[in-house]
């Protein structure tokens, strides 16, 4: 049996790490860091930097592993299930290789483990079941709205959090006034009538590389597409998020 801690670390800025999360990083016996292959080495580097900020000689706690690649050739949900099974197996093998049974093992999770993140679902696949602890983190949605200095909702109104895939396949959510779109690698706002919406977009939010664009979708859509493409080329990867709201007639 192990104690498995899933620690929300915000969007990559060490200043987003809460006091509780920092203490958990210090208290953990082992910290697992995934390697996502060429072009995404920055993601592992940022995790290492966060550990080193809070732990003297933090490298001694870190164990890295290669993250399996999802097979995107078949049905989406089946591919995700198989991918999660493969990741859980790698976690188990990595933990056993370190003799970490009975110890505190941590994973650093972008944003918060509860919001469009699969770490909790992968943890459920481990056998035996770990003693699970979740430390909440600042989400990219919070950082985006703070960066643009906007409230996420109109007065007393709800908002919807969804994905780019859902927006592309199902269109604008029925009855929604405001939506936040995550996990969108295909700029799914281009599937909407640009005359009907305004957008607040951000990439690398909260980090030194932060990029922000806002305005009527008809006015800024092309600018977002170009800026996003350039940033992805420069960094080899990109994390972005946006809020869309219906324009008032």
How far is Cα 151 from Cα 168, in angstroms, rounded to an integer? 25
Give, in order, the Cα–Cα distances in Å from 104 to each of 30, 50, 211.
6, 18, 37
73: number of CA atoms within 13 Å, CB side? 2
CB within 8 Å of 23: residues ≥ 6 apart: none
Q: Tokens 């699969």 map to which residue?
A: 118
How far is Cα 96 from Cα 111, in angstroms, rounded to an integer? 27
Per the structure block, which two tokens stand in for 72?
């995107």
Domains, the chain: 3-138 (3.40.1010.10), 141-246 (3.30.950.10)
* Residues 17 and 9 sit within 8 Å (Cβ to Cβ): yes
The pLDDT score that the predictor gives to residue 43 is 84
How far is Cα 58 from Cα 149, in angstroms, rounded to an integer? 35
The pLDDT confidence band at residue 148, using thresholds 50, 70 and 90, is very high
Q: What is the pLDDT of residues 98-142, one digit of tens each?
A: 887 788 999 999 999 999 999 999 999 998 899 999 999 999 999
Q: What is the pLDDT of residues 10-48, one digit of tens each?
A: 998 999 999 999 999 999 999 999 988 776 778 889 999
How far is Cα 222 from Cα 228, in angstroms, rounded to an integer? 10
Given a cut of 90, whether residue 1 has pLDDT beyond it is no
How far is Cα 83 from Cα 77, in angstroms, rounded to an integer? 10
């Amino acid at each position: 049996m192990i104690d498995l801690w899933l620690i929300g670390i915000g969007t990559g800025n060490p200043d987003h790490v809460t006091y509780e999360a920092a203490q958990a990083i210090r208290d953990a016996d082992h910290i697992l860091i995934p390697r996502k292959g060429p072009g995404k080495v920055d993601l592992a580097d940022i995790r290492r930097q966060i550990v080193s900020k809070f732990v003297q000689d933090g490298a001694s706690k870190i164990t890295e592993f290669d993250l399996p690649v999802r097979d995107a050739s078949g049905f989406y949900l089946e591919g995700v299930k198989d991918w999660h099974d493969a990741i859980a197996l790698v976690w188990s093998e990595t933990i056993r290789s370190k003799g970490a049974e009975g110890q505190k093992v941590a994973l650093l999770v972008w944003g918060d483990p509860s919001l469009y993140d699969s770490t909790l679902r992968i943890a459920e696949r481990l056998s035996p079941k770990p003693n699970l602890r979740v430390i909440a983190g600042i989400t990219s949605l919070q950082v985006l709205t703070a960066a643009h200095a906007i409230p996420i909702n109109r007065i007393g109104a709800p908002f919807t959090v969804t994905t780019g895939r859902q927006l592309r396949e199902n269109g604008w959510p029925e009855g929604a006034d405001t939506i936040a779109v995550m996990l969108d690698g295909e700029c799914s706002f281009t599937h909407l009538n640009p005359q009907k919406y305004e957008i607040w977009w951000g990439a690398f939010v909260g980090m030194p590389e932060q990029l922000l664009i806002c305005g009527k979708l008809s006015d800024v859509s092309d600018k977002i597409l170009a800026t996003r493409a350039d940033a992805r080329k420069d960094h080899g990867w990109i994390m972005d998020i946006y809020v869309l709201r219906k324009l008032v007639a």
